[in-house]
Amino acid sequence: FWSKVPQGPADPILGVTDAFKRDPSKSKINVGVGAYRDENGKPYVLDSVRKAEDIIHTQQFLSLASKLAYGADSKPLKENRVAVVQSISGTGALRIGMEFCSQFYPGNKTLYLPNPTWGAHPAIADKAGLEVKRYRYFKKETLGLDFDGMKEDLTTAPEGSIILLHACAQNPTGIDLTQAQWRELSDLVKSKRHLAFFDMAYQGFASGDVDRDAFALRYFVEQGHEIMLCQSFAKNLGLYGERAGTFSMVTASPEEKERVLSQLKRVIRPLYSSPPLHPAQLVATILGSPALYTEWLGEVKKMADRIIAMRARLYDILLELQTPGNWDHIKSQIGMFSFTGLTPEQVAALAEYAHIYMTTDGRISMAGLNEHNIRYFAESMSKAIKG
Ligand code: PLP
Ligand code: TYF
């Protein structure tokens, strides 16, 4: 088609710049092109434009992060009644949410934490001025969930208490509610008018599927709970040092959302004034680019699958070594952690004799195991148990 198209002449203005670039002289000056340059001859990015870019990135980040958690077709998101702010990862989100409750929650300002829970939860609640109580979660005898104990404690808790729930991949136990249990819990929380306060630090790490891991959160929202949510990108994006996260809450109306948002900003102001831009840009770029988003989903699945494979390997070797006890929980537990059931003495022995380190509660991070070290780990664990 185009073989007869002739070569066009160089642009007379841009040609001036080409000539300028080719000139090696130190005293050269380019006054050929009408583009603004500052006092130092550098292109000028207007501050107002930079600020606008910052706003765009932050807004994209908040919007994309909430869609990831709540789901793209979440009703309250569509109805513009979710108040969301950027937090300093999950820890910062917890602090914002708890401070907000401490100031504004009209119900019982007591935070019920699962027993056991992530070690920082009580300290953050305490700093925020909330009273802390516990609800039963882990059953020693079965190394499983104490669902009856949990329900009983949340039923006897004063009406309108704040209940912290790990959205998935509970830390430290690795034990989650089944979907049927979440449904039952939703009814209980509703009938007691409790406030469900979700901590979602491991979306994607439980099943490898970010939507499936958001089941509990989304189900509660569907059921009309005005939940709170702490979202961290430290684990599922491997952004430990960037401190990317959000705090959000479902409100009753867009107008209520605006009022709540104005107060969330007042909580943030004396803490860190405004959030860092780089983590928001990173996360928004990944969640907002179809190719990167797909690639990321694949990587989340890869991380989760590797952990699941390590569970199976550990289980198999423990059985092969005829380790006394039942080890089903190693395979059935979920997410980053496994609550092995090792006693503090066995944990100490593993450190002393095998150079294997874990928290004294017997929790292991499954991600620390790999094909190279799993046999040594399992053999040492088996030895420690046999005594
Ligand atoms: N919540 C739970 C249950 C966690 O395990 C963690 C961290 O490991 C966090 C919140 C907060 O993590 P970060 O502040 O690094 O996002
Ligand atoms: O429970 C744990 O082991 C993690 C620890 O950037 C942790 O919560 C906390 C923050 C972080 C990395 C690991």
What are 192-247's pLDDT values in tens digits? 999 999 999 999 999 999 999 999 999 999 999 999 999 999 999 999 999 999 99
- Is 10's pLDDT higher than 80? no
Query: Of 238, 265, 288, which closes a domain?
Result: 288
Report the distance separating Cα 139 and Cα 382, nearest Å. 23
Q: Which of the listed residues 89, 170, 240 should we mutate to test ligand 2's pocket, taking the one with most ligand atoms within 8 A of CB?
A: 240
Same domain for 71 and 163? Answer: yes
Per-residue model confidence (pLDDT) at position 180: 98
Determine the pLDDT at residue 117.
97
Do residue 82 and residue 146 come from a single domain?
Answer: yes
In Å, how far from its chain's centre is CA 241? 13
For the domain that residue 334 is a member of, what is the CATH number? Answer: 3.90.1150.10
Measured CA to CA, the distance from residue 270 to residue 259 in angstroms comes to: 18
Question: Which pLDDT belongs to residue 35?
Answer: 85
Atom 7 of ligand 1: nearest residue by CA position: 201
247, 341: one domain: no
Is the shortest distance between the CB of 171 and ligand 2 below 6 Å?
yes
**22: which 2 tokens?**
């080719």
- Domain check: are 278 and 337 in the same one? no
Phi, psi torsion values for 67, nearest 5 degrees: -65, -40
| Residue 91, ligand 1, Cβ within 6 A | yes
Tens digits of per-residue pLDDT, 136-172? Answer: 999 999 899 999 999 999 999 999 999 999 999 999 9
Q: Which of 152, 147, 141, 205 is nearest to 179 (CA)?
A: 147
Q: What is the pLDDT of residue 122?
A: 98
Pairwise CA distance, residues 227 & 197, whole Å: 6
Question: In the chain, what is the greatest distance between 2 CA atoms, to the nearest angstrom?
Answer: 87
Q: Report which ligand 2 atom has the smallest distance to the Cα of 119.
A: 1
Q: Residue 293: inside a domain, yes or no?
A: no
Is 126 a catalytic site residue?
no
Task: State the burial class of residue 24 (Cβ atoms within 10 Å of its Cβ: 0-12, 13-18, 19+).
Answer: exposed
Which string of b and e fits 333-346 if b means at least 16 CB within 10 Å?
bbbbbbbbbbeeeb
Do 145 and 240 have their domain in common?
yes
Of the residues 288, 313, 334, which one is the last residue of a structural domain? 288
> 201 CA distance to ligand 1 centroid (A)?
5
Instruction: Let me know: does 170 contact 363? Beta carbons within 8 Å.
Output: no
Tell whether the model's pLDDT for residue 32 goes beyond 90: no
Residue 108, helix vs strand vs coil: coil
| Residue 331: DSSP 8-state | H
Can you give the residue range of the structural domain that contains 283? 49-288
Co-location of 265 and 345 in the same domain: no
* CATH number, domain with residue 92: 3.40.640.10
Check if the beta carbon of residue 162 is closer than 8 Å to that of residue 101.
Answer: yes
Question: Are 236 and 300 a contacting pair, CB within 8 Å?
Answer: yes
Q: List pLDDT tens digits, range 40-92.
A: 888 898 999 888 888 888 899 999 999 999 999 999 999 999 999 999 999 99
Same domain? 222 vs 348: no
Residues 263 and 305 in one domain: no
Helix (H) or strand (E) holding 198: strand 195-200
Domain assignment of residue 6, yes or no: no
9, part of any domain: no
CB atoms within 10 A of CB 374: 16
The reply to whether 14 falls in a domain is: no
Q: Does residue 66 sit within a domain?
A: yes
Would residue 54 count as lying in a domain? yes
* Pair 113, 164: CB distance under 8 Å: yes
Residue 91 included in any domain: yes
First to last CA, the chain: 83
Q: Is 232 in the pocket of ligand 1 (CB under 6 A)?
A: yes
Same structural domain for residues 125 and 178? yes
- C-alpha 335/C-alpha 280 separation (Å) is 25
Residue 14's pLDDT band (cuts 50, 70, 90)? confident
Do residues 161 and 252 share a domain? yes
Residue 120 falls inside a structural domain: yes
Amino acid letter for position 213: D
